[in-house]
Homo-oligomer: A and B are copies of this chain.
Amino acid sequence: MGPTPRSTVQRLPERGRYDAPTIHAILDEAYICTVAFVVEGSPIAIPTIHARIDDTLYLHGSNVSRMLSTLAGGVECCVTATVLDGLVLARSVFHSSMNYRSVVLFGRAQPVTDRDEKVRAMRAVTEHVLPGRWDEVRQPNAKEIAGTQIVSITIDDASAKIRTGAPVDEEGDLVLDIWSGVVPLTLMPGAPIADRPELETPGSVRAVTTTPRGH
């Protein structure tokens, strides 16, 4: 895997990363991605849940999803996923920013028609949203598998862009008595709202509410 000109980070290239472990970790941590594609010359972008197995990204949805049917036709797409890590509060407006980890991935989707691969992808999506959940719930039946459309995109033409750490102020601003620093951000799970509180909270839910994703 290596970046092509289109996946090479242009602005602030020192923030660009191209290694698979970095790209995969961001895709795994981000709950959702945004999928962009072109219809009759115009851009369309839609947020959706994704999942990854090795170097394959899966998107799923209903058999009647316009987005998935379009993607399954093999058109080019661009998938982005972003994790926000903090507010970067400089002494000046100009150097204020955010800490983030993002991925931009270019490719063409392929329809997943093999039943076993479909089920593996459905499992990956379930486990992406909440690790351990697949084994706790009712598995998809034949009708549900048939009603689910899945496409795969190979993760090879991709880049990550990452900003971490403190604000970088102008030398001349450092003497100003203006508070600067970072406010970390975490996508924090709250107390579960159970449909039947008498049932024991399952391991998957206990795990995510104890340790927020990425921590």
Contacts and interface: CB of A to CB of B under 8 A. Distances in A.
Interface of A: 6, 10-11, 31-32, 34-38, 41-47, 49, 61-62, 64-67, 76-80, 82, 84, 87, 89-94, 96, 98, 100, 102, 104, 106, 122-123, 126, 129-130, 133-134, 136-140, 144, 148, 166-167, 173, 176-196, 199-202, 204-205, 208-209
A185 B179 contact: no
B190 A138 contact: no
Contact of A138 (B38, B91, B106): B91
B179 A184 contact: no
B80 A47 contact: yes
Given A80-B47, A194-B180, A6 B189 contact: no
A4 to B, nearest CB: 11
Contacts of A191: 184
Contacts of A104: 44-46
B183 A82 contact: no
A89 to B, nearest CB: 7
A106 B44 CA distance: 8
A18 to B, nearest CB: 17
Contacts of A34: 34, 36, 45, 47, 80, 82
